[in-house]
Amino acid sequence: MRVVWIWLCFFAVPTLPLRAEFLQAPPVQAAPEQAGPLAVTMLLAFSEKNAPAYAQQMQHWQILAQLAGAQLAVRYEYVSLQRSMELVQHSGYCTLNKLKTPERQAAMLFSQIPLNISPSLRLIRPGLNSLPADVDLLSFLKAAPRLKIGVASGSSHGAVLDAVLVARAPQVYALAGEDAHLKLWQMLKKGRIDALLDYGVRIEHLRRLQGDALPYSVASLQGQPKVLEGFLVCNRAAHGQQAIRLFDQLMQQPAVQQALYHSYQQYFQPAEWLELQPYFRQLFGQLP
């Protein structure tokens, strides 16, 4: 486990450029009981050496961190996904891009609105045209009982997909530890698994980053929502309440909402983006 302190919240991965007017937004007032910067240990479910592979999913946190400035003193810990979900229940820790479930809400605090919004999980398989446009995952696995599908251990995929993965457990290869998504992609390329569940945008980012020539197919999963929401999550202690309150205040700033809104667009096809405008209007109260 690698620990890094960064006082101004600048994480060592590429970030989206922010226009000058974003950076000039008035600072959010710190909670009355908090004097000076709020110290937060942010848990990241990947290793420091492979941080560039996860730059895309960190960019929304970067928007928030840049505008928080000296209000936050952030220490980053690189841990497995499972370990992050254990540690975040203790005072001083937070994590990001987590799906909201009733079980998690009972144990942790979630931000009011999601930090990350992306298309739902996809089924990824090697080879062009190796999948139909959309797939019923249960039927797909039943039809090929020897097929192995890779998933990141400790991750929630939503109630429907989680139930399918439990029902077809012998066909599921759940990989734990740091860099699970990167390692699963590498296993898929080597033929050690037959398919995987992941975000299409992440797989394309990894492919381009590593210069992969492997052709692959992506299928939507039937019964899944149009978007998945990844929230900031902290512990329920007083510290976690302060952190979530500050995150919520930051994400109410028009500059933050505008930057997040334009960043989300890269994940969606034009027709999908147009269809989601009522969703964003409801999320932000109005379109940024």
At the second CATH level, the architecture of 2-118+229-284 is 3-Layer(aba) Sandwich (3.40)
2-118+229-284 and 121-221 in the same fold: yes
Compute the distance between CA of residue 55 and CA of residue 204 in angstroms, rounded to an integer. Answer: 13
Q: So what's the pLDDT on residue 34?
A: 57
Residue 214 one-letter amino acid: L
- CA distances to 3, 14, 139, 258 from 122, rounded to whole Å, are 32, 25, 15, 27
Superfamily classification of domain 121-221: Periplasmic binding protein-like II (3.40.190.10)
Cβ neighbours of 201 (radius 10 Å): 17
Compute the distance between CA of residue 181 and CA of residue 67 in angstroms, rounded to an integer. Answer: 29
Cβ neighbours of 87 (radius 10 Å): 18
Q: Using an 8 Å Cβ cutoff, are 219 and 139 in contact? A: no
Tell me, what DSSP letter sits at residue 99? -
Nearest-10 crossing angle of helices 254-264, 55-68: 170
**Separation of first and last alpha carbons in the chain:** 39
Q: Using an 8 Å Cβ cutoff, are 212 and 123 in contact? A: no
Give how far the C-alpha of residue 264 lies from the chain's centroid of Cα atoms, to the nearest Å.
12
Compute the distance between CA of residue 124 and CA of residue 196 in angstroms, rounded to an integer. Answer: 5
Residue 5 one-letter amino acid: W
The pLDDT tens digits along the chain (288 residues) read 554 444 333 333 333 333 333 333 333 334 445 568 999 999 998 888 888 888 888 999 999 999 899 999 999 999 988 899 999 999 999 999 999 999 999 999 999 999 999 999 999 999 988 899 899 999 999 999 999 999 998 888 888 999 999 999 999 999 988 889 889 999 999 999 999 999 888 888 888 888 888 889 999 999 999 899 999 999 999 999 999 999 999 999 999 999 999 999 988 989 899 999 999 999 998 877
Q: So what's the pLDDT on residue 263?
A: 92
Domain ranges, ordered by start, for the chain: 2-118+229-284, 121-221
Query: Beta strand pairing status for 134-135 and 216-221?
Result: parallel
* E strand map for 56-142: 72-78, 93-98, 109-110, 116-119, 122-126, 134-135
3-state secondary structure of 203: helix
Give the predicted TM-score (pTM) of the model. Answer: 0.77
Query: Beta strand pairing status for 116-119 and 172-175?
Result: unpaired
Q: Which residues contact 66 (CB under 8 A, 6 or more apart)?
A: 9, 10, 15, 18, 23
